[in-house]
């Protein structure tokens, strides 16, 4: 029994020794290389679209040569590599770090713009939470405010319009939900928000039409008239104006002449 125990202990020690030896062999030894060499390797990897391998290579530039000019460039390229992998959280962290460390860099406008893109790429359909849309809007606003004459400001303004249109669409979806269930006051709140806060979006004509519909259903004729008047003045050729006209006049027949009379006067207000 004693011999067996000794043999078991020896075998266990031998196994641990072999594992340790294998572990040592698997470790990659640290080899310092010139910053330019590592950066060029990272760029070649990036150009080959191997973004997963490119990011750690760019980070290696900073790790080995943190005070070199190559490290500054590598920080931004690492963020770009994360962006291309759709690892937006990692990209935002890297970009915010770059902005904090290099606020006077000629590339800082690009860093702000890419940060906004990271949020923009995560925008989901209007049926879901719009937190990313709001964050993208804030980030693009910052690009325009800080760098109004930069080449990124033009695209930022375009994406601001698209983000606003998306947020307006979310309000319209909620408003329609309330409207179809007879919660007219809640629906009016949503449609008014579109008209007041998202005036340049494509959803305003429908919002005015829905306001006319909701006000009229509640018997608020004066408010319905105002909404219809704004709709007719600003969007006279839209399908929503035609629908509002049909709803308020009761159609082309003569059975609702009184309503047609006051609605007809709306067309002559302006």
Q: What is the mean pLDDT of residues 169-182?
A: 93
Tokens of 38: 């590592």
* Domain span including residue 106: 29-166
CA dihedral in degrees (38, 43, 45, 51; nearest 10)?
110
The enclosing domain of 218 has a CATH number of 1.25.40.10
pLDDT digits (tens, 9 = 90+) for 16-62: 444 444 544 454 456 678 878 889 898 899 999 999 999 999 998 88
Residue 247: what pLDDT? 66
Which range, of 80-89, 193-202, 217-226, 258-267, averages the lowest pLDDT?
258-267
152, 143 contact by CB (below 8 A): yes
User: Looking at the 3D structure of the chain, how many domains does it have?
Assistant: 2
In whole angstroms, give the CA distance from residue 56 to residue 170. 39
pTM of the model: 0.72
Element (H, E) at 115: helix 108-120
Asked, for residue 55, whether it belongs to a domain, the answer is yes
**Same-domain pairing of 90 and 114:** yes
Which residue bears the tokens 């340049």? Answer: 200
Domain boundary among 126, 145, 166: 166
Tokens of 52: 């997963």
CA distances from 220 to 88, 105, 173, 177, 187 (A): 48, 58, 23, 21, 14
Asked, for residue 43, whether it belongs to a domain, the answer is yes
Rounded to a whole number, what is the distance in angstroms from the first to the last CA of the chain? Answer: 109
**Same-domain pairing of 137 and 252:** no
């Amino acid at each position: 029994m004693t011999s067996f125990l000794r043999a078991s202990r020896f075998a266990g020690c031998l196994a641990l020794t072999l594992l340790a030896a294998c572990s040592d062999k698997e470790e990659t030894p640290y080899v310092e290389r010139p910053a330019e060499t590592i950066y060029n390797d990272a760029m070649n990897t990036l150009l080959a679209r191997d973004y997963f391998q490119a990011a750690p290579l760019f980070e290696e530039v900073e790790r080995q040569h943190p005070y070199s000019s190559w490290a500054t460039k590598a920080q931004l390229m690492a963020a770009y590599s994360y962006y291309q992998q759709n690892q937006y959280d990692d990209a935002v962290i890297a970009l915010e770090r770059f902005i904090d460390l290099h606020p006077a860099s000629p590339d800082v406008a690009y860093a702000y713009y890419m940060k906004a893109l990271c949020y923009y790429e995560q925008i989901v359909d209007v049926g879901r939470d719009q937190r990313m849309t709001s964050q993208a809007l804030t980030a693009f606003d910052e690009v325009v405010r800080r760098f109004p004459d930069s080449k990124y400001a033009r695209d930022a303004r375009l994406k601001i319009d698209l983000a606003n249109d998306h947020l307006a669409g979310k309000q319209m979806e909620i408003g329609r939900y309330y409207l179809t269930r007879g919660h007219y006051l809640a629906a009016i709140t949503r449609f008014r928000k579109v008209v007041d806060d998202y005036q340049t979006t494509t959803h305003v004509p429908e919002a005015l039409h829905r306001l006319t519909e909701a006000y009229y259903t509640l018997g608020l004729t004066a408010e319905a008239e105002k909404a219809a008047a704004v709709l007719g003045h600003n969007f006279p050729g839209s399908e929503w104006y035609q629908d509002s006209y049909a709803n308020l006049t009761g159609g082309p027949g003569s059975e609702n002449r009184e309503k047609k009379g006051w609605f007809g006067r709306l067309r002559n207000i302006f």
